Amino acid sequence: MSPTHAPVGAARQGSLRELNLALVLGRIAAADRPPSRADLATATGLTRATVSAVVEDLLAGQLVSEAEPAPWAGAGRPARGLVLADQGPAGLGLEVNVDYLTVCVVDLAGQVRHRTVHRADLRPVAPEDALARLVDLARQARADAARQGLTLAGAALAVPGLIDDSGQVRLAPNLGWRDVPVPELLSAHPPLTDRVPDVPALVVDNEANLAALGELHSRPPGPASFLHISGEVGIGAGIVLDGALFRGVRGWSGEIGHLPVHPQGRPCRCGGRGCLEQYAGQEAIVAAAGLVRAELPADTATARLAELAEAGEPAALRALNDAGTALGVAVAGVVNLLDLDTVVLGGGYAPLAPWLCPPVLAEIKARVLTAAWSPVTVRPSTLGPEAAAVGAAGSVVRRIVARPAGWLNRAG
Ligand SMILES: [Zn+2]
């Protein structure tokens, strides 16, 4: 959009147009079935003519498309509904974890259009080298997205650690990262996405937070309040209350892996003792099951545990039961404190949920005051092990939907 020769009142008109674009697109995104222009006029209170003009802009900008008309029993021609476009802008989701890198692309409608998981033990790898590998995967994702008619409009990166407002990773104990300037390191590479006003090129956030947001915005919608636990080598939690992530004062909430379950127990990487991670982290479960992690190809650990448990192997079953009991002790404390009725097991816990859920539920039953008349649901994540990367990409997409004018006004 050219900034020159703006007529008087253009700024005000511009902002009204931006509000209307966001209002109409938000209604289309939230609708259970594709709304017609008339439906949108009713729902927004805008005139039919305004809705039509806004929809034309959204169609031209590849933010929405017209759905096939539904079978129509009434008289006359069926009105065509509008849906979020499956071409146009998309979000890039990235995750660096202890033993894998994930890259995914999610379109406006929330569909995962590209997904790569690269397994490798990243602890011996310098942060800049791990990020360089991630950039390579992201480039491939960008090319694949372009082939599908998608343009990456922004990226979000999930890291299992404490991240400050500037996107620096202050501490990721299991990766061995401390004070890693992730945005600066990534800026040494060519951009991963197109430049779109109102959409940050890169957001860095905690992986448990992004996984919880992914779960919150998955379809069909789940509960508005829940605890989402990502069980990897470390254990993080995302706390969702009344439809919003509870981040804490500095954005560092959810460190459930360092809740003590045996106060005088095993020393932990955090400097404390007896932390949940030492009993229910992936390495702890693998060791308790008698598996030697080093002999497993990089992080087939979860799949191997599930296989052994499926086959009824006693050591694996005992290890999972003990881990579930420790997890249940911690979860019961959180449920008592926050009065939640849903606990979602995500990340590496998702495939192990059949064996983890029963002992977690047993501890909740024994320890949560209100459990007798208000049952707590414990279930695996609907997004599977890549929930954090999917949630990261979804966070980009929601930003585009909330402020579509940035995409429509972009240069080029
Ligand atoms: Zn700890």
Ligand 1 centroid, distance to 276 Cα (angstroms): 7
At residue 4, does pLDDT exceed 90?
A: no
Ligand 1 centroid, distance to 259 Cα (angstroms): 7
Quote the mean pLDDT of the chain.
91
At residue 6, does pLDDT exceed 80?
A: no
Ligand 1 centroid, distance to 41 Cα (angstroms): 54
Q: Could you report the per-residue pLDDT of 367-401, keeping only the tens digit for each?
A: 998 888 889 999 999 887 788 999 999 999 999 99
Ligand 1 centroid, distance to 211 Cα (angstroms): 21
Ligand 1 centroid, distance to 210 Cα (angstroms): 21
Ligand 1 centroid, distance to 295 Cα (angstroms): 26
Ligand 1 centroid, distance to 279 Cα (angstroms): 11
Ligand 1 centroid, distance to 236 Cα (angstroms): 11
Question: Are the CB atoms for 284 and 278 separated by under 8 Å?
Answer: yes
Ligand 1 centroid, distance to 234 Cα (angstroms): 9
Ligand 1 centroid, distance to 161 Cα (angstroms): 12
Ligand 1 centroid, distance to 274 Cα (angstroms): 7
Ligand 1 centroid, distance to 95 Cα (angstroms): 22
Ligand 1 centroid, distance to 32 Cα (angstroms): 43
Ligand 1 centroid, distance to 135 Cα (angstroms): 31
Q: Which of 67-76, 107-116, 286-295, 356-365 has the lowest mean pLDDT?
A: 67-76
Q: Could you report the per-residue pLDDT of 43-64, keeping only the tens digit for each?
A: 999 999 999 999 999 999 999 9
Ligand 1 centroid, distance to 322 Cα (angstroms): 18
Ligand 1 centroid, distance to 174 Cα (angstroms): 10
Q: Which of 123-137, 152-166, 289-303 has the lowest mean pLDDT?
A: 289-303
Q: Could you report the per-residue pLDDT of 298-336, keeping only the tens digit for each?
A: 557 888 899 999 999 999 999 999 999 999 999 999 999
Ligand 1 centroid, distance to 400 Cα (angstroms): 37
Q: Could you report the per-residue pLDDT of 187-219, keeping only the tens digit for each?
A: 999 999 999 999 999 999 999 999 999 999 887
Ligand 1 centroid, distance to 176 Cα (angstroms): 14
Ligand 1 centroid, distance to 272 Cα (angstroms): 5
Ligand 1 centroid, distance to 255 Cα (angstroms): 9
CA atoms within 13 A on the CB side of 52: 5
Ligand 1 centroid, distance to 181 Cα (angstroms): 24
Nearest Cα neighbor of 134 from 166, 200, 182 is 182
